Structures are given as structure tokens and as C-alpha cells.
A and B are shown apart, each in its own frame.
Chain A
Amino acid sequence: MNTKTVAVMAAASLLTAGAAGCGGTQGSSAASTSSGHVNITFMEAMSSGTLAPAMEHLTSEFNRTHKNITVTLEVQASYSTLEAKEQASIAAGNPPTIGQAYEDWAATYAKSGAIVPLASYVHGSNGVSSTYISSMYKGVWKDQFLPGGKLYMWPFNKSDFVMYYNANRLQQQHLAVPTTWTQFMSVTHSLTSSSHGTWGFSMDPGTSSSAANGTYLYVALLRAYGGNLMVNGRVAFASQAGVRAMNVLKTMYDNGSMKLGTNYPGQTALGAEHGAFDLSTIASYYYNNEAIAGKFTMGVAALPKGPAGEGNVLQGTNIVMFSKATSAERSAAWTFMKWLTEPQQTAYWAEHTGYLPVTTQANPLMATYFASHPYQKIAAESLQYALPAPAEPGWTEGIGTIATAIQEVLLQNKPVQQVLTQEQAAAQTYVNQGG
């Protein structure tokens, strides 16, 4: 090998190295002082729109009312940055005291011993009452556990799916707001016209590496038809309900009433008056309104029901406590976590951000708000049907198999049952490998 060859190969390897991302973090570690004052850090991604001021207000309010604890926020620009930073800080042995986490992140952290179970805090002397626990939305409470039944998370910013629609179009066509999936299919079909360039709605099916609204829409449909993602620890979406749910999507795609896209296509199509509906989370309300820019009245309703009632998917994150924290920091952090979910704070958070309160105890405090923001009430009522995604370490990959299944059925016309069976097996393999 001559010098030139070596030089070119070195250049090649240099470029290869450059292509790989490198992340680092300067995690400011929490510290407790000798005076009994405890400093804790909360790594979070509530950085855009109304989220940042609401988060800052709550934190300073907590710091003001809890003289011996100081919470410092470590704000990240997005969930993906947050995840990278949390992972990097754990790997570097310098994590924050607490952090926002999705269920599958928590599962991965727990598997590596990076977070601590919270049962001793939740049920301890400084814990919450059983009345409080029973006032939490069922799905939200269930969402705090990892497989094996251990309580590892505490709820924070939760949302669920609703149906946005162009109220003017429905009115012009004398169509009622659909309340069942059968009605939804017929309404979207009757609003579809290739000559007018209009259709029912657009959705993003997601990819094998990242789930999107369309992926969750299938999960909501699956539940509405009586199915489940997992039954007794086994992936189970290739059921009869799974097939029926997929056929709903296939029918709508084949007759042109549903189109696929990327980057929030439902919002774009609704805003551009091509699509009449958008199925996405209540947290999209603000952004959908921006896209519509006053061109028409946007209606909000609960997701349509199936034979088994409304199926919905719980979205948003919880809070986890990292195991590097000292016991003083842990109890201080728990005090903060518990405080955040008390009725007054969860109501403040919901009213200022569009997320949902985690306990029904907040509802009386939010009566005025619900009266002026009826869509939030609709979303809050749907919380009772909103179930979390399985908190399996392999589920990040697992949910991707649903995105693949949707595309194989819609774009490649493969038989529904065969695709679902095959992708269910793939998802099971991921769950087995991750667990």
C-alpha cells in the first residue's frame, strides 16, 4: 500500500468518523449541602411555545414554597435531544436527579439499573393517599409501571388523541360529525372528490424506526375493535380485531378518502382545505389552529368509537428518578414530583400548555377553563380510554413493525392477515431481545 493509498483511506475513515454523531453533556450534578438544603436537577424538553414559561413558573413557585429544596431545570430543545442527553449523562455517570422519559426509555434505563423504583416513595410516609391514586385516570396510573409490575415513573405531561374537523365543510355538505368508525368511513368517502382535490384526511404511517400519528391511529382502531397490542406478555395485534382495524385503513386508502404523507400531513391537508379531518393529539390544537389561520371553524370531537367503544392511545411522558442521586436528593425530588401532580399544579399545567390533568381532582379547579375550552374537556374525558404503549425495552422497535404492516398493506397490497402475522412475529422477536 503506497502513501497515497493510505492517505485516501485515512481521509475515508476520517469522513466516516465525521458522519457519526457525537453527543456530550455537561450535566450539572445535584448536590446537597451541609445546611440541609438540597439542590436537584430536572432534565426536560418543555422548551417551545407556552411550555417553557409554564414550566419555569411552576418550578419557581415550588422553589419559593420549599425553602430547603432548589430545583434547577435542564431544558433540552426536543425529545430526541432529551433522550440523547439523558443517555449520555447516564453513560458518563453524571445524570440529573430526575428527567422526563417515555415508557420505553424508562424500560431501557431500568434494565441498566439507571433509575430507581418509586413504590417506596409513592406509598411511603411522604407518599400520596389511596384516594389520590384512585382519582388518577386509569390509563395514566397503569402507565407508571414497567413489565414485572414495578412502579418506576410518575406522570407529568399527558395527552391523547382527538378528531379535528373542518366544521364548515361538514355543515355545507349536511354531514353530522361521525361518532363511529363506520360513520367516519362514510363521511370521509363522501367528502372525497378528485376533481375538487379534496379527501377525508391525511396521515403519516411512520417508518420502522419512528412511529407517527398514523401508527398510533392503528393502535386506537385496534382497541376500538376490541384488540390489544399485547396480551399476557405476548404481542397480539394479528388478532381478528387487528385485521378489522387494518381493513378500515385499507378501505379508506383504496377509495381515496385517506392519503399518506410525512411531517404532520393531516395538519397540512386540513389547513389547506384539502382534508376535512385530522386525527392527532390534543397537544396539536395550537398548531392546527395556526395552520388553519382563521379560514374556517375547526371542530374538535372524541375519536370515533368501534364495536368495543373508544380506543385511544396515551401520549406524553412521565418522570423518572435516576439512581445516582443520594437519598436526600431522592426524597427532595419525590417531593417535587408529587407536588407537580397535586390538583392545583396539574390544573395550572394543563390550562397553560394544552396537556391534560393527570387526576380528576383537578376538574373542579378547571371548570371555568373547560367552559371556555371545551375541546380540552373532550380530550380529558377520553383519557379514561387512553392506554399507554407497552413499556417493554424492545417496544421502540416493536411499534415500528406496525408502521411496516400499514405500508405493506396499503402500498404493496399484501394480504392483511399474512402481513399482521409476520409483523407480530417480528415485534415479538424485538420484545424478546429487549427484555
Chain B
Amino acid sequence: MSQNPSAQFVRRRMREYFTAYLYLTPSGLVFLVFTLLPALFVLYISLFNWNFLNESLSRWVGLGNYRDLVTSGQFWHSLLITAYFLIGTVPVGVILALVIAMFLMDQVPGRALVRLAVFAPYVTPVVATSIIWLWIFNPEYGLLNALLHLLHLPELGWLQSPHWALIGIIIFTLWHSLGFSVIIFLAGLSGISTELREASRIDGATRLQELRHVVWPLLSPITLFVLVISTIGALQAFTQFYTMTAGGPLASTTTTSYLLYTLAFIFYNTGHAAALAVILFLIIGGLTLVQMGVSRRRTFYQ
């Protein structure tokens, strides 16, 4: 007696599904317990005037926390600071990384040393190096002002000055994170077939034309990756703000992430902090979607 072949197929498929989900369960559970459920809980408490010391004293406020945030100058100011930081680190960082990577592709003397120098900061802990930079930026004893003094340029207040503090942090962040983007670009550049570049050269393309019409389009998936990762990184940057300026002076370095931290863990204003976390998630998600949408049309895969 032979079994119905389609029933047998279904049973086999079912078993395969079961096995697959069984394998996925451990990571799925971790994701559920440590990411998804807390994220949903954040959404829930963002609707309350939450008393985390005594939950029974929490009061339902609906969208009140969101209303408070969007009507507060603090929130919009932090978004502006975040935008400055984003512009200062992402486009500048991507361009710098590309230039350095292209330079490092050429057979220049001391290439290995420069590669090491560019990449080394990335593997150092942000806390430790930001403290070193705190001294470099010190207006009285710092290296940077000593250099400016040597060059007969006016000395700056750096992290003590509301005008220069964010620029100081951007300089540190670029120094620290550039190595990662450079390595990714180097990998991307090595992946571009030399035949295509040679063909363009035989056709009479200049170095610049080769870069514009051959290398750049073929690098677009890499650029997209670097762009997305740096954007997420910039939106979440926290440590350097915490150690170098604590959001000051005068909130000139209070990004949205830092504001979230102060609301949640200094002032224990849990409801507002949760609402801000939800807004930040929407912003990051939205930006990522826009980036994906724009670049899908402009990304070329070899």
C-alpha cells in the first residue's frame, strides 16, 4: 500500500519547517526577551507618567509625554545638535574615508604604517581615548592650543566653549571611527575587477573619469553600507558626549541620545524618556528607509 505522495511531501515540508524553527528558537528567544519585549514595554510606559520606584503610582497620560516633548525647546534643540553632529561625521567621514582608502590602494611607501595608524583608533575603547582627547582639547594645557599658539593662531576654548565643543567632539569621532569605513572601502576597492578599470583606461578615460564612471558606481553598495552604519552610529553616539562634555556647555552637545540618557537615568523622568526613545527609533527607522529607497535606485551591483 503506497502513501499519498502529496501528503508525504506536506509531512516532509512540515518536518523541515519544524526543524528550522527549532534551530531558530534560541536566537529568537534571546531577541524576544532582550529586544522585542523591552521595546514594546518602552512603548507601553511612554503612555504613562511612570513611577518606576512604585509602579502602582504610575498614571496614564496617553500621548501626553509625546506632546510635552514636541512642545519643548529642549527636544528640538537636541535634534538640531544631532543633525549637526550627523552632518559633521557622516558625509565628511564617508568622503574622508574614501579618499584615504584610495590613497592607500596605491603603492605608496609606508602604506602599511598609514593603514595601521588609520585603523588603530577604531579598536581603542572610546572611554579611554576620549579622556586622552579631553586633555588634548584642554584650553590651558592642551596639545591643540599649544599648536595653535606655535602657529600664532588664536587659541580656542574647545570643549569649554559652546561654539567649539561640538566641533571638538566631531573631530574626536572622525578620528576614532574613520578606520572602520576606510577598511570597508579598501575591501570594496580591492573587489573591483581590474579589467573594467583597464578597459576604461584603454578607452582613454582620465583618472578622474575612471573614478567617476567606473569605480564610484561599483562602490555604491559599499558606500550605502558605510552610510547606513555611520548614520546609525552617529545617531546613537553617546560615550564621547558622556565623558567629554556631559552634554554641555549650555546644552551645546546635548544630542537626542544624550537627552534620552539624562531624562532616563539622571532625572528618572521615565515616561518622557520612553517617549523620546520611541521617537528616536522612528527617526532612525525613517532615515534608514529613505537611505534604502534613494540608494536602491542609485546602487549598482556588479
Contacts and interface: CB of A to CB of B under 8 A. Distances in A.
Contacts of A113: 54, 57
A207 B241 CA distance: 12
B220 interface: no
B162 A412 contact: yes
B53 A108 contact: yes
Interface in A210-256: 210
Given A8-B228, A210-B246, A407-B250, A261 B162 contact: no
B284 A12 contact: yes
A208 B285 contact: no
Give the contact-size bracket for chain A. Answer: 35 or more
A82 to B, nearest CB: 13
Interface string B238-261: 100000011111110010010011
Contacts of A15: 232, 236
A371 interface: no
Interface stretch (B6-14, B17-25, B97-105, B265-273): B265-273
Interface stretch (B34-42, B106-114, B203-211): B34-42
B236 A261 contact: no
B131 to A, nearest CB: 9
A327 interface: no
Interface stretch (B86-94, B117-125, B133-141): B133-141
Contact of B249 (A12, A19, A91, A411): A411
A209 B266 contact: yes
A114 interface: yes
Nearest to A21: B265
Contacts of A210: 246, 266
Contacts of B265: 21, 84
A406 to B, nearest CB: 10
Interface residues of B, number: 50
Contact of B280 (A16, A197, A207, A408): A16
Nearest to B292: A5
Interface in B126-151: 134, 138-141
A202 B277 CA distance: 37
Contacts of B261: 21
A60 interface: no
Given A17-B35, A261-B140, A90 B53 contact: yes
B288 interface: yes
A9 interface: yes
B267 A396 contact: yes
Interface in A256-270: 259-263, 269
Contacts of B159: 262
Contact of B39 (A17, A21, A262, A396): A17
A212 to B, nearest CB: 9
B51 interface: yes
Contact of A261 (B160, B232, B238, B250): B160
Interface of B: 31, 34-35, 38-39, 51-55, 57, 134, 138-141, 157, 159-162, 228, 232, 236, 238, 245-251, 254, 257, 260-262, 264-268, 277, 280-281, 284-285, 288-289, 292
12 contacts: A4-B292, A5-B292, A9-B289, A19-B257, A202-B140, A209-B246, A259-B140, A261-B140, A274-B141, A408-B250, A411-B250, A412-B162
